[in-house]
């Protein structure tokens, strides 16, 4: 158990049966009434950030979290198979747990698996990935770097908006947090 007096940024606690990470907190002692702690917490499973206020001294169960580097091997319609980079042990996760996090990940790419209290909770792709464009409309003579954008399907099946001058086979860098094109790597 951990008290509000022991809060630290990045600490994980259980609130209302769900695991949250403390993003920031502030102890407040008003002139009248009891002290309280104003916090901003992030739900580990959904990513939702909430503002919550707790009474000073309130106790919560501490949640043990760990992040493991894993290698994405392959996926089937029902499961995703990962391999631990250190022990070479394979782990299968249900596709429902992974959600859309694999739309920018191709086979044999490193990912991070967030484990909460010994159970897999979330799969995090690398922040930036380099993927080839598999399908897009051809560029037209006169398209410029500063021009508009067009949708392009990447080798993983994800669709991102790219500048008009890019063509099939070009490799682009994509920010997996926002799903946006960053730059052309080669072509």
pLDDT for the residue numbered 167: 86
d(CA 102, CA 98): 7
What's the confidence (pLDDT) of residue 145?
Answer: 55
CATH number of 128-186: 2.40.50.140
* CA–CA distances in Å: residue 30 to residues 7, 35, 64, 138: 19, 6, 33, 64
Predicted pLDDT of residue 165: 84
Per-residue pLDDT of the chain (187 residues; tens, 9 = 90+): 888 888 888 888 999 888 888 889 999 898 888 899 999 998 887 778 899 999 988 999 998 888 889 999 998 888 889 998 889 899 888 887 777 778 888 889 999 888 888 888 778 888 899 999 899 887 665 555 556 788 899 998 889 998 888 888 889 999 988 889 999 886 5
Count how many Cα atoms sit within 13 Å of the Cα of residue 170 in the half-sphere of its side chain: 22
pLDDT at residue number 65: 84
pLDDT at 17: 86
CATH assignment, 2-62: 2.30.30.30
- Asked if the domains 65-124 and 128-186 are classified in one and the same CATH topology, the answer is yes
Please tell me the predicted confidence (pLDDT) of residue 95.
84
- Please report, for the chain, the start and end positions of each structural domain, with discontinuous segments joined by +: 2-62, 65-124, 128-186
For the domain spanning 65-124, the CATH number is 2.40.50.140
């Amino acid at each position: 158990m951990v008290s509000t007096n022991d809060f630290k940024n990045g600490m994980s606690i259980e609130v209302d049966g769900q695991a949250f990470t403390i993003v920031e907190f502030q102890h407040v002692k008003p002139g009248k009434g009891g002290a309280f702690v104003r916090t901003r917490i992030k739900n580990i499973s959904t990513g939702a950030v909430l503002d919550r206020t707790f009474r000073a001294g309130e106790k919560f169960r501490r949640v043990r979290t760990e992040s493991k580097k894993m290698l994405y091997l392959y996926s089937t319609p029902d499961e995703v198979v990962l391999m631990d980079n250190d022990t070479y042990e394979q782990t299968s996760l249900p596709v429902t747990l992974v959600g859309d996090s694999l739309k920018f990940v191709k086979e044999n790419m490193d990912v991070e698996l967030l484990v909460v209290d010994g159970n897999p909770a979330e799969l995090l792709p690398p922040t930036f990935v380099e993927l080839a464009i598999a399908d897009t409309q051809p560029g037209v003579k006169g398209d410029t770097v500063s021009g508009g954008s067009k949708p392009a399907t990447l080798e993983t099946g994800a669709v991102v908006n790219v500048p008009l001058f890019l063509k099939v086979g070009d490799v682009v860098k994509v920010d997996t947090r926002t799903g946006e094109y960053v730059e052309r790597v080669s072509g």
